[in-house]
Structure 1
Amino acid sequence: MSTDQTKIAVDYTEAAEKLKKILNLKGSPVAIRFAPTKVDIPAGMVELDKTIRHCSMVNLARTEGKIFYAPADKHECNGGAWSLGLRGITPTLKNGEFYFKLGKFDSAAACKRTIERIPHLDTGETYATLYAPLEKTPFSPQVIVIVTTPRNMLKLAQSSLFRLGGRIHAEFSGIQSVCADATAQTYLSGQANFSLGCDGSRRFSGIGDDEMVMGFPAEMLPEIIAALSIVIGAAGSK
């Protein structure tokens, strides 16, 4: 297994329980890791036994407590597999035809401009994606995804700025929300990202109409945990 671990030790079980308690989460925060080769998958982890979308995989870990890995052939969504570095981009996705036919854009050109700006890992960089509820993760996560209410997202946003301040620049386009926005973008940028969810993820992964999606680098977990209770308990907090 890869030795790529964070140098600052984190108790993921304790952190997850704090997040769930403070935010009253419906499910678990989800730990995600990119495995570049098969040997980077921890011993004992099982391969997913069906072919579904990345967002649905996140939901399995979030709501059912499943721990598993998924190589390219278990990823149903071509856009998701491409953004996560598992497969190359398909011709119809690259030229804009795919989303244009779905009615998401006025022209294939508008779609192509959007696709060209979607964050993605290099093709072939990932052998498999690893998933687990944060409190039971058998691997050191690289990205943590949370699905929760806008009010909780406000508190998470405030917590991510608590130590250094600044501004949050969320990146999303209404498509590929959980795969590109919350996972690939977060991993590549090293910054938290917030997304509204997309039609696919809302249809297939159990994201409610009253929920949003956030991804943040696992390295940010200690400071978010430390800030959350302070931010929520602040005099000016609602």
Structure 2
Amino acid sequence: MSNEPMKIAIDYPEAAATLKRVLGLKGSPVAIKFATTKEEIPAGMEELDKTIRHCSMVNLARTEGKIFSATSGKHECNGGAWSLGLREITPTLKSGEFYFKLGKFDSAAACKRTIDKVSHLNPGDTYATLYAPLEKTPFTPQVILIIANPRIMLKLAQSTLFRLGGRISAEFSGIQSVCSDATAQTYLTGRPNFSLGCDGSRRFSGIADDEMVMGFPAEMLPEIIEALPIIIGASGSK
């Protein structure tokens, strides 16, 4: 992973303004980057001063405009830290015991089958995760997250299909929604993903009952920005 900007320049403040205006977002789109070394963290960018979950970190950037980095020790959720490549998976998470004890599955085996398919970076791949509202990002993002209601998600989905068409295959399992589904999976596959949120993210990060989560590769931002006004203004659009 390089700290160099993308070869095709993107005006992030303008793109964020377009997303907010056209979609009527309540908060900011969130820029995220996986820093592999300390040197990849922009100069002057402070580390988060508390230990919380990745989904809560996203909410700080989304609703409060916070810009910060977070090394492994600042990540409260073991599952989130594992999926983001910050630390090894814990034995209870790997075996299925953790989610089984939370009552999420009928058996530990069912849980393990789910955990085995959770998208994650290799442990140690990430030195720190970086967060910023898109309009103020001091780094070149790799993933952009949007939390919004289903109608907005519909328009975002349509915008990803505007140029080439096809179908969208969303993957989620009701756990690790913001960390794995929307962030790690999106980065690893290079494809947008939609998720319903999970109990943890809805409980700790301010995702409302009527909101969903979308992550898309930052490289897709120009085509989404170009397509959205056309999609919204189409005669068949609601």
Question: Is TM (by shorter chain) over 0.5?
Answer: yes
TM-score by length of 2: 0.99
- Counterpart in the other structure of 1:91: 91
Q: Does 1:147 align with 2:147?
A: yes
Return the offset for 1:21: 0.6
Secondary structure (helix, strand or coil) at the match of 1:112 reads helix
**Aligned counterpart, 2:193:** 193
Counterpart residue type for residue 29 of structure 1 = P
In structure 1, list runs of 5 or more residues that go unmatched: none
Contact 2:19-2:25 within 8 A present in 1 as well: yes
Amino-acid identity (%): 81
Q: Match of 1:132, as an amino acid?
A: A
Q: Which residue of 2 aligns with 1:122?
A: 122
Corresponding residue number in structure 2 for 1:43: 43
1:5 CA displacement = 1.9
Q: Paired residue for 1:233?
A: 233
Aligned mates of 2:120, 2:4 — CA distance in 1: 21
RMSD, matched Cα? 0.9
Question: Which secondary structure state, in structure 1, belongs to the residue aligned with residue 33 of structure 2?
Answer: strand
Please say if 1:168 is aligned against 2:162: no
The corresponding residue for 2:133 is: 133
CA displacement at 1:130 relative to structure 2: 0.1
| Amino acid corresponding to residue 181 of structure 1 in structure 2 | D
Deviation at 1:185, TM superposition (A): 0.4
Q: Distance in 1 between matches of 2:73 and 2:131?
A: 16
Distance in 2 (alpha carbons) for counterparts of 1:35 and 1:84: 11
5+ residue gaps in structure 2?
none
Q: How many residues align?
A: 238
- Aligned-partner SS, 1:145: strand
- 1:2, distance to aligned residue in structure 2 (A): 4.7
- SS in structure 2 of the partner of residue 129 of structure 1: strand
Q: Distance in 1 between matches of 2:8 and 2:160?
A: 18
* d(CA) in 2 for partners of 1:6, 1:80: 27
Cα distance in 1, alignment partners of residues 79 and 4 from structure 2: 27
The residue type equivalent to 1:13 in the other structure is P
Amino acid at match of 1:112: K
> Could you tell me how far apart the structure 2 residues matched to 1:3 and 1:99 are?
36
Task: Give the partner amino acid of 2:221.
Answer: L
CA-to-aligned-CA distance 1:53-109 (integer Å, 9 cap, x gap): 000000000000000000000000000000000000000000000000000000000
The answer to whether the 8 A contact 2:3-2:140 is kept is: no
Distance in 2, matches of 1:191 and 1:212, equals 17
1:4 offset after TM fit, Å?
Answer: 2.8
Q: Secondary structure at the match of 1:135?
A: helix
Write the distance in 2 (CA, Å) between the matches of 1:138 and 1:222.
18
Specify the alignment match of 2:19 in structure 1.
19
- 1:79 is aligned to 2:79: yes
> Whole-Å Cα distance in 2 between the matches of residues 190 and 164 of structure 1?
16
